Amino acid sequence: MTRRNRHRERALPLNSEEIDAPIATEIRRAIQSADHILAIVHTGPDGDAVASLTAVSLALSQWDKKVVLLCDDKTPERFHFLPRATQVKRPPYRGLVDLIIALDCGDEQRMGQSFAGLPFPHPPVINIDHHATNTYFGQINLVVDTAVSTTEILYNLFTDWGLTMTPELALCLLTGLVTDTMGFRTVGTSAETLHIAAALVAAGADLPLVTTQALNLKEFSTIQLWRSGLNNMQFEDGLVWTTITHQERKAAGHNGSSSNGLSNILADVDEAAIGAVIIEMGDGNVRVGLRCRPPYNVGEVAQNLGGGGHPLAAGCTLPGPLAEAEKMVVNACKAAIRQQSKES
């Protein structure tokens, strides 16, 4: 087994079934010695991000720790069923902070203004994540890139600490597992993942509720956004992609920063190797979501474009204008398809 510890120069992957005991102890000591803890997740929060935030808040309350939850974007309403999900604040945050816990963030920039807007000097950062492209930006880094979700890592961490698995905590952790595996259907879902899910259900988590809220329900604005994206869809050389302008996004009533699953739909096209959704934001930047199936790898594509993620699901943010960003993404994806087709 190889291990990742707090020192970046010695950062190697942990196996998902194991938590490095010294790192777990170091994280515990840092938390227990902190008085003002701020937990931050990435912009455009998905189920794993929201679930990780709420799970940390619930878990650390067992040590009488109050955690302020922060994210650049609002919590999607379908995740309001999670305890404390409506308590997530948006920047700027002006309170005292002596410790930051970054959850489900592959790099420092993914925290957006929630982190960048904090006064200098920034307090120490505990980085807990499962993205293969994580940059180890924390002073303490617990990165398990074989875990299917950040909540899977948290489950093992909380178990290591001997915390009580209440039904509310189990509900949060199961939500992260379900959303990031699309209902236990993605590559990487293992027997361990299913064992953890079974333990969480046994602890009181409601699997049908999680599946309905996290996977099945869609806001009307999301369907409207998908309609624009599908109307603009193109297919060439194994790449299915679409662009959505800021005006189209506004017309749909969509205020988020992601396509809420449209990239998954494009990647499911039988003839496609990669699916890409390219969305123009109100600030002129362009958000890109990439998905694929083996043997292709969009994590490398996203990383080359300044982003990151997983081999089968990744993304990045590019400067506008939209047409230039689209050209860059399309060329990068087509080149990757040609190269990776040769290698497979």
pLDDT of residue 253: 87
- The pLDDT of residue 342: 83
Closest by Cα among 120, 322, 151, 320 to 241: 322
Q: Given the DSSP bridges, would you call strands 234-236 and 239-244 parallel, antiparallel or unpaired?
A: antiparallel
Each residue's pLDDT expressed in tens, for the chain with a length of 344 residues: 223 333 332 233 344 445 778 899 999 999 999 999 999 999 989 999 999 999 999 999 999 999 999 999 999 999 999 999 999 999 999 999 999 999 999 999 999 999 999 998 999 999 999 998 899 999 999 999 999 999 999 999 999 999 999 999 999 999 999 999 999 998 889 999 999 999 999 999 999 999 999 999 988 999 999 999 999 999 999 999 999 999 999 999 887 666 778 999 999 999 999 999 999 999 999 999 999 999 999 999 999 999 988 899 999 999 999 999 999 999 999 999 999 988 86
Question: Of the candidates 2, 63, 46, which has an alpha carbon nearest to the alpha carbon of residue 150?
Answer: 46
Strands (E), 193-266: 234-236, 239-244
The pLDDT of residue 18? 58
How many Cα atoms within 13 Å fall on the side-chain side of residue 304? 15
**In the numeric block, which tokens belong to residue 16?**
């998902």
Name the pTM for this structure.
0.86
- Spatial separation of the C-alpha atoms in residues 268 and 272, rounded to whole Å: 7
Asked if residues 203 and 58 have their Cβ atoms less than 8 Å apart, the reply is no
What residues have CB less than 8 Å from 61, skipping those under 6 apart? 67
Residue 275, classed as helix, strand or coil, is strand
Per-residue pLDDT, 300? 92
Q: In the prediction, which pLDDT does 8 show?
A: 33
Return all residues near 224 (Cβ < 8 A) that are at least 6 apart. Answer: 251, 252, 253, 254
As separate numbers, helices (DSSP H) first and strands (DSSP E) second, the chain gives 12, 11
Q: How far apart are CA 150 and CA 132, in angstroms?
A: 12
Return phi, psi of residue 290, to 5°. -125, 140
Query: Which residues on neighbouring strands pair with residue 243, listed in sequence order?
Result: 278
CB atoms within 10 A of CB 7: 11
| pLDDT score recorded for residue 257 | 64
In this prediction, residue 14 carries a pLDDT of 40
Separation CA 320–CA 281 (nearest Å): 9
The DSSP bridge partners found for residue 215 are none
Q: What structural domains does the chain harbor? A: 8-215 (3.90.1640.10), 220-343 (3.10.310.30)
Compute the distance between CA of residue 173 and CA of residue 182 in angstroms, rounded to an integer. Answer: 14
Q: Note the pLDDT of residue 17.
A: 47
